[in-house]
Structure 1
Amino acid sequence: MGWFEERAGLHDTVAVVTGGAGGLGQAVVTDLAANGVRVAVLDADADAAAALGRLAAERGHDVLIEVGDARNPDVLAALFDAVDARWGRLDTLVNVVGGTFRAPFTETNAKGWDAVIRTNLGHVLHACSLAVPRMRAGGRGGSIVNITTIEAHRAAPGFAVYAAAKAAVEQFARTLAVEVAPDGIRVNNVAPDYVPTPNLTRFSHADGALDDPVGVKVAIPMGRVGHVTDVSNSVVFLASALSSYITGSTLHPDGGTSASAGWFNWPGQGWANHAPLEVLRGATEAAR
Structure 2
Amino acid sequence: MSDELSILGLAGKVALVTGGGAGIGRATAELYARAGMKVAVAEIDPARVASVREALGEGHLVVQADVRKADDVAKVMQALQDRFGRLDVVVNNVGDYLGYKTAFEQSTEAEWDALYGINLLHMFHVCKAAIPLMRAGGAGGSIINVSTVEAFRGIPMTVVYSAFKAAITGFTQSLAVELGQYGIRVNAIAPETTNSAQIVATPRVPAENRDYISRWFPIGRFGEGSDSAGAALFLASDTLSGWVSGCTIPVDGGALAAGAWMRLPNDAGWTHLPIIESDGYTPRPHAK
Structure 2 partner of 1:178: 177
What's the CA shift string for 1:180-225, capped at 9, x where partnerless? 1111000001111011113123xx5997269943221221111112
Q: Is there any run of 5+ residues in structure 1 with no aligned partner, and where?
A: none
Structure 2 partner of 1:12: 12
Structure 1 partner of 2:233: 236
Q: 1:151 to 1:180 in 2, by over 3 A?
A: same
Structure 1 partner of 2:130: 131
What are the equivalent positions in structure 2 for 1:87-98 lying under 5 Å apart? Answer: 87-98=84-95
What are the equivalent positions in structure 2 for 1:123-162 lying under 5 Å apart? Answer: 123-162=122-161
Structure 2 partner of 1:265: 263
**Structure 1 residue 127, shift from structure 2 partner:** 0.8
**Structure 1 residue 137, shift from structure 2 partner:** 1.6
In structure 2, what residue type is equivalent to 1:187?
V
What are the equivalent positions in structure 2 for 1:44-59 lying under 5 Å apart? Answer: 44-57=44-57
**Structure 1 residue 3, shift from structure 2 partner:** 7.3
- The SS at the match of 1:252 is strand
What's the CA shift string for 1:235-284, capped at 9, x where partnerless? 0110111111100011122110011112121214422211258779x979
* TM-score normalised to structure 1 length: 0.90
RMSD: 2.5
* TM-score normalised to structure 2 length: 0.90
- What is the distance in 2 between the residues matched to 1:286 and 1:212? 13
What are the equivalent positions in structure 2 for 1:1-288 lying under 5 Å apart? Answer: 4-6=5-7, 8-57=8-57, 61-100=58-97, 101=99, 102-201=101-200, 208=205, 212-241=209-238, 242-268=240-266, 269-275=268-274, 286=287
Moved over 2 A (4+): 1-4, 204-213, 275-280, 282-287
Preserved CA contact (<8 Å) 1:145 1:189: yes
Q: Is there any run of 5+ residues in structure 2 with no aligned partner, and where?
A: none
- What is the distance in 2 between the residues matched to 1:189 and 1:139? 22
Preserved CA contact (<8 Å) 2:263 2:269: yes
**Structure 1 residue 2, shift from structure 2 partner:** 5.8
Preserved CA contact (<8 Å) 1:213 1:224: no
- What is the distance in 2 between the residues matched to 1:219 and 1:183? 42
Higher alpha-carbon deviation: 244-253 or 261-270: 261-270
Q: 1:252 to 1:141 in 2, by over 3 A?
A: same
- The SS at the match of 1:186 is strand
Q: 1:3 to 1:229 in 2, by over 3 A?
A: closer
Preserved CA contact (<8 Å) 2:195 2:202: no
Preserved CA contact (<8 Å) 2:149 2:192: yes
- What is the distance in 2 between the residues matched to 1:207 and 1:67? 31
Preserved CA contact (<8 Å) 1:91 1:141: yes
